[in-house]
Chains A and B, each alone.
Chain A
Amino acid sequence: MNNENIIEIKDLKKTYENGVIKALDGINLEIKKGESISIIGPSGSGKSTLLNMIGALDKADEGHITVAGMDLMQKEDLSKFRLNEIGFVFQLHNLIPNLTVLENVQTPLIETDIPDKKMEERALEILKSVNLTDKINQKPTKLSGGERQRVAIARALVNHPSIILADEPTGALDSKTSDIILELLLDIHKKENVTLIMVTHEHNVAARAHRSIYVLDGKIKEEKINSAS
C-alpha cells in the first residue's frame, strides 16, 4: 500500500446479466492523490462501469478496490462515503428541473446537518467560482447546456470532495463550450488539489490529463503519461 495512492484497484471484475456481460474483466489501477486521469475507449468497453466502481455506486464481483482509505468491497451503505469523498458530473447535467440553480447545488447538503444559512452560503460561494452568480434563481430549463453543466460541477463540488468523477462531461456540448467546461474542471483540479477522473471520447480532451488510460473489453490495454500537463 502506497500512502500517496488515493485509489488502488486490483483484479477488479464486474459482470452483468448473470455473467454474460463482462463489463470489467480484471482491472489493475493505482491513482495518486491530486492526479488527473482520463479514461478513453470504445462504447461498451467498461469506462462508466469503472467510474461507478470508484464512486461506490455499484459493487464489484471480485477483486479489491480501496478509495480514499475506504475498502469498497466491504458490504455496507456507501452513501455517506459518496457524500463526503466523491463529486459526480454526468454527461447530461441531471439537474432537478423544478429547483432553482441555487437549490440544485444544495441538494447534496440535505444529507448533512449543516444549518440552512450555511448551506446557502456554501452554494453561493461555489456558484461564484463557476461564474453563475447571476443565474442562481433560474430554473435549469432556462439555462444553456454549458451553464447547466457548470451547475452540475458546482453541485459536485459543494461538499468539497477529494475525487471528482466526470463521465463524458463535455459529451453533449459543442466544441467551444466543451473547452470552457474542460478548463473549468482542470482549473478546480489544480486549485483545490482534487483528484480528477474523467471519461471521454475525445483525444484532445484526454490529452489534457496527467495520464490517459485506454480501456478495451473491460481491461486496461494501455496507459500513457501526457507530456502537455
Chain B
Amino acid sequence: MKFRNLILKNIFRNKSRSILAVIGIAIGVAAVVGLGLITDDLTQSTESALTAGAADFSVINSTNSPSGSGGGGGFGNDQLINQAAVGQIQQVKGVSSAVGELRTSTNLGNSTSSNSSSSSGFGANFRSMTNIIGIDSSDLSMDDIAITNGTAFSNANQVIIGQDAAQRLNKTVGSTITISNKTFTVSGIYETGNFMDDRGIVMSLPALQNLTGNTGQVSLILVKASNGTDPTALASTIQQNYANDLSTSTSLSGNNRMNNGLQVISSGAWAVSLLAILIGGIIVIVTMMKAVSERTREIGVLRAIGWTQRRILGMIIGEALVLSLIAIVVGLLLAVGIVELISLTHLLRGINPSFSLLLILKGIGVALFLGIIGGIYPAYRASRLSPTEALRYE
C-alpha cells in the first residue's frame, strides 16, 4: 500500500468533515477569484478608456482649483471658461487639438435641470443625478466616447446616451427624452468604459449651452498633445501661460473619478478576500484539529509500529493538501457562479468574466496556502504527540 493511498483513504473517512474543510478553503478561493474577475474586468475597461483618441489632460477655470495642484477634477462651485480660450489653447505649441466641453448634471426624475453646471463627482445624490455633456460630435473621441448603437447626434434636437443611462431610463435609439422641458431624440447609445460617464447623456455643445443659458462658455477644455510632446510638460506650460485664469489637470477628471471608483472597489475586494481567507483558514484549522484529536490513539499506534514524526506530519499535511486540491475546483466553480449572479442582478455594469491564468494561479495559491496553513499546526501537534500518552488517550 502506498502512503498516498492511505492519505486518500483518510480523506473519505469522515466525509462531512472533509466537505466542511473543502468549503472553508473554497470560500477563500471563490472570494479571491470571484472578486478578481470583477476588478480585472473593471480595470480592463479603465485601460480601454485610455485609448489613443482620448485627451491627455483638461484645462479648467483656475478659481475651481484653489490649491492649484490641478488634480481632482471636481467642479464643485464651478466657474466656466470663455469659449475663446479654446482657440487660444489650440495655438499653443505642442497642442494637437483643444476641445471645449460643457458639463452639467440634472435630476431627470423631476425634470428640473440644475443650472449650476455642477458635476456630480461622488456627491450624495449621485445616483439620481445624470451627467450631461455638451461637446461637438466630431470630438467625441476626446472623451473616449464610442457609439455602440445608432449614430452620433447630428442636430440640436438629438442626444446620445450612455449604455447605463439607457438601461436605467429604459431608453433606446429613437426614444425621446425630456431635459429641462425640452424634448430630445436619442440618436445613439455610447460606451466609454468609464462606468461613471456611461450613466450620462451627450449632446452638441451649442445645444447644451442654449439649454443651460451658458452661451459662449465651457466647463473645461480637453487637450491632446501632438506626437512627440510630453503631455505633462505641455500641461505645465499652459498652466504657466494662463496662471491667473486657467489651471490644468494632468489626468482627465473622468479618469480620475473612475480610478478613484476603481480603487474603492479593488480595496473593498481585497478586504472581502482577506476576510474570506481568514474565515477559510479558521475552518480548515478547526476541522483538521478535530481530525487529529479524534485519531490520537491511532497516531500513538502508528508511532509505536515505527512511524517517524515526519511521517505523521506528512500524513496530516498531505490530507490537508488533497482537500485543497478538491477545493480549487469547487472554489473556481463557486467564483463563476457568484459573478454570474452579480451580473444577473445588474449591480454592476455588464461583466464579461474572463479567467486569466494569473487569476487561476491566485486561486490555486490561496487554496494551497490555506491547506498548508490549516494543516501545518494540527500536523505539528499530531507529530509531537507522545506515543505513550496518545496510546493512553480515551
Query: Interface on A for B, CB 8 Å cutoff?
Result: 49, 52, 55, 57-58, 77, 79-80, 82-84, 86-88, 90, 94, 96-99, 103, 106-111, 116, 119-120, 155-156, 159
Contacts and interface: CB of A to CB of B under 8 A. Distances in A.
Interface stretch (B55-63, B222-230, B271-279, B297-305): B297-305
Interface centre among B2, B12, B309, B391 (most CB of A within 10 A): B391
B311 A110 contact: yes
A159 B391 CA distance: 21
Contact of B306 (A79, A96, A120): A79
A79 B3 contact: no
A156 B304 CA distance: 10
A84 B306 CA distance: 8
A79 B312 CA distance: 12
B298 A58 contact: no
B388 A57 contact: yes
Contacts of B391: 57, 90, 94
A127 B205 CA distance: 94
* Chain B residues touching A, majority SS: helix
A98 B12 contact: yes
Given A94-B297, A98-B12, A119-B1, A83 B306 contact: yes
Contacts of B309: 77, 79
Contact of A108 (B9, B306, B386, B387): B306
Contacts of B311: 110-111
B1 A57 contact: no
A83 B10 contact: no
B126 interface: no
Nearest to A94: B301
B383 to A, nearest CB: 11
B6 interface: yes
Interface range on chain B (Cβ under 8 Å from partner): 20 to 34
Given A57-B388, A110-B1, A83 B305 contact: yes
- 8 shortest interchain CB distances as A-B pairs: A83-B306, A108-B305, A94-B301, A79-B308, A58-B388, A57-B387, A82-B306, A88-B304
Contacts of A83: 305-307
Contacts of B297: 94
Interface centre among B6, B304, B306, B386 (most CB of A within 10 A): B306
B13 interface: yes
A107 B1 CA distance: 8
Contact of A98 (B9, B303, B306, B308): B9
Contacts of B9: 98-99, 103
Contacts of A106: 1
Nearest to B392: A48
* Chain A residues touching B, majority SS: helix
Contacts of B298: 94, 96
Nearest to B2: A116
Given A57-B387, A77-B308, A98 B3 contact: no
A111 B13 contact: no
Given A57-B387, A58-B387, A90-B301, A103 B307 contact: no
Given A98-B10, A116-B1, A80 B306 contact: yes
Interface in B62-83: none
A109 to B, nearest CB: 8
Contacts of A111: 306-308, 311
Contacts of B13: 97-98
Contacts of B2: 110, 116
25 contacts: A49-B388, A52-B387, A57-B387, A57-B388, A77-B309, A80-B306, A82-B305, A83-B306, A83-B307, A84-B306, A86-B304, A97-B13, A98-B10, A98-B12, A98-B13, A99-B9, A103-B9, A107-B6, A107-B305, A108-B307, A110-B1, A110-B3, A110-B307, A119-B1, A155-B305
A57 B6 contact: no
A24 B230 CA distance: 87
Contacts of B303: 57, 79, 82
Given A49-B388, A88-B304, A99-B6, 8 more contacts: A79-B303, A79-B309, A88-B305, A103-B6, A108-B307, A110-B2, A111-B306, A159-B306
Given A57-B387, A98-B10, A99-B6, A107 B302 contact: yes
Nearest to A53: B388
Nearest to A84: B306
